[in-house]
Amino acid sequence: MKPRILIVDDEAPIRNMLAFSLNRAEMDVDVAADGDQALARLADSPHPDLIVLDWMMPGLDGLQLTRTLRDRDDYKDIPIILLTARGSERDRTQGLDSGADDYVVKPFSTRELISRVRAVLRRARPETAAADASTPSPTAPRLQVGALVLDPEQRRALAEGRPLNMGPTEYRLLRLFMQHPGRAWSRGQLLNELWGNDRAVEERTVDVHIRRLRKALEPTGHAGYVQTVRGHGYRFSDVV
Average pLDDT of the segment spanning 38-48: 91
Q: Cα 120 to the chain's mean position, in Å?
A: 7
How many DSSP H helices and E strands does the chain contain?
9, 12
pTM value?
0.67
Q: Is residue 136 part of a domain?
A: no
Do residue 58 and residue 114 come from a single domain? yes
Distance from C-alpha of 215 to C-alpha of 137, rounded to nearest angstrom = 32
Distance of alpha carbon 167 from alpha carbon 212, whole angstroms: 9
pLDDT category at 191 given cuts 50, 70, 90 is confident
Res 129 pLDDT > 70: no
Helix, strand, or coil (residue 144): strand
* Per-residue pLDDT at 198 exceeds 80: no
**Which of 33-37, 39-43, 197-201 is predicted with the least confidence, judged by mean pLDDT?**
197-201
Query: What's the Rg (C-alpha) of the chain?
Result: 18
pLDDT attached to residue 204: 78
Q: What is the pLDDT of residue 15?
A: 92
Same domain, 27 and 120: yes
Q: How many domains does the chain have?
A: 2
Instruction: Kindly state whether residues 106 and 150 are assigned to the same domain.
Output: no
| pLDDT in the model for residue 70 | 87
pLDDT tens readout for residues 19-39: 999 999 999 999 999 999 999
The boundaries of the domain holding residue 199 are 143-236
Tell me the longest C-alpha to C-alpha distance in the chain: 54
Residue 133 has pLDDT above 70, yes or no: no
Rounded to 10°, the helix 168-179/110-124 angle is: 50
* Nearest alpha carbon to residue 123 among 169, 192, 77: 169
Cα–Cα dist 189/140, whole Å:
23
Axis-axis angle for helices 110-124, 12-24 (nearest 10): 60
Residue pLDDT, tens place only, 51-72: 999 998 988 889 999 989 988 8
Output the domain CATH number for residue 198.
1.10.10.10
Q: Are residues 120 and 180 in the same domain?
A: no
- pLDDT value for 201: 66
DSSP, res 26: T
pLDDT at position 108, please? 86
Nearest by Cα to 8 from 116, 68, 83, 85: 83
What integer best gives the mean pLDDT of the chain? 85
> Using CA atoms, how far apart are residues 33 and 2, in angstroms rounded to an integer?
23
DSSP per-residue letters across 196-235: TT-TT--HHHHHHHHHHHHHHHGGGT-GGGEEEETTTEEE
